[in-house]
Structures are given as structure tokens and as C-alpha cells.
Amino acid sequence: MHREIERFLASPSDSCVLLLSGGMDSGVLLSLAVKKYREVYALGFNYGSKHNLKELTMARKLADHYGVDFRILNLPLDFLKSALLQKDTPVPEGAYDSPTMKQTVVPFRNGIMLSIATAFADNYDVKDVLIAAHAGDHPIYPDCREAFITAMRHATMKGTYTAVRILAPFVFLTKEQIAEAGREMNFDFTRTWSCYKGQDLHCGVCGTCDERKLALGFNRGLDPTVYADVPGNSK
């Protein structure tokens, strides 16, 4: 297990609030959180993205599998500009890189969700709020970077009665390292969703599918995901 994950697990604690999108990163983080915490509250957000329903369906399955409290909160962000939100703007296809994926940025999305999760934690006397931001997102999403997480942690600890702290155990890990940690725990990646198009199957060609394939070792035959662009997989 990666040393950052070992450090995270080293100190068992009472309870946490976890942002559970239904993606592979937050899914693996949930599987770790149930080892560290006696009680886990998982929050999913219905914020109007094209893949929201697919993500939240998977998030519910993950929460049920691990036996944690799961709540879906409505968070309408359709007034913001993003390829994830506008129906007339296609989800970009191609490599998971800055020129492609900047179109999918939802401004301050993690900041908004972390703020709500922090209020929830403070209200229920929960000390930690967990987010699965990772190193692969740093060039594209400003609210996934270590500096942002540190600044938010400082703000939440100063702005709450219970000194809620935000933790991002994967912030220095790549998505491949997260996938490897999941495999070590026999995590079932078929219970997760990545594709931004939100169709019946993962499309296999958008940026997030490209990233998922790389992380899970698609070219090595290790990726259990069914993709629509692979012959014999489409319905």
C-alpha cells in the first residue's frame, strides 16, 4: 500500500463525512474510510451534470455495499458554464489533458461541495471531511490542487465550532496508484462510473474514459469496464 494511504489509515477515528461521487477515486476512498472510521456519512450531489444520474446510481450501490449512511443533496449549478452542464455543448473526446478537459471545469465545484459537507460535519459533530482529489487532476481543476485543499482546511478549521478539517489522502497520488490501492483491497471497479457522457455504457472515447482506461490498465487486460467503443461490448 502506498505510504500516503498507510499514513491516512494509521490513526483510527470516530467519524467522517465523505464526498461520494460514484467515481473510482471516491469509491476507493470509501473502502479506506470504512477501515479508518467507526461511522461514515457519504454525501452525493445532484448538480445537473450529464452523467449525474449514472454517478449517483453507482454511489448508492457503493454506500449500500459498505453499509454507510448516504444522502443525495440537490445543488443546481446550471447557471454556470461547463460542457458538463450545458445540453448544447458536447463532452470533449480525446486525451485527458488540459486543452481538452478545461471545457469540463465546473467553477469552484469542489469548493461549493466541501463547504456544504463542512456545514454538515459541524452540525453533526464530525471532525473530518474527505475528498478524493488526486494529482492527475492538478493541471486541469484548480479546486483539486494541494494548495486549495490546504487553504480550505485552514478556513474550515477556523470557521467551525468543531474545527472541521478537510483531508485529501490522494492529493499526491496518481489515478494509477489509486487503482492499484483498490486492487490490493479487491475493490470492485464495476461499481463505479467515470464517463462524462452519461449514456448506458462508458463511451470509451471521452477524456474521463481515456483516463479510466489508463489507470485501470485497459491495454493490459486489467480493466473490467464495459466500453461502448469496444467491439462486442455495445448493446
Pairwise pLDDT comparison (38 vs 80), residue with the higher score: 38
Radius of gyration, CA atoms only, the chain = 17
| pLDDT cut 70: percent of the chain above it | 96
Average pLDDT, the chain: 92
pLDDT score of 232: 56
**Superfamily classification of domain 3-187:** HUPs (3.40.50.620)
Model confidence at 235: pLDDT above 60: no
164-215 tens-digit pLDDT: 999 999 999 999 999 999 999 999 999 999 999 999 999 999 999 999 999 9
In the chain the beta strands, taken as DSSP E runs, fall at 13-19, 37-46, 69-74, 128-130, 165-167
Model confidence at 140: pLDDT above 50: yes
Model confidence at 1: pLDDT above 60: yes
Contact between 160 and 125 (Cβ < 8 Å): no
Global pTM? 0.93
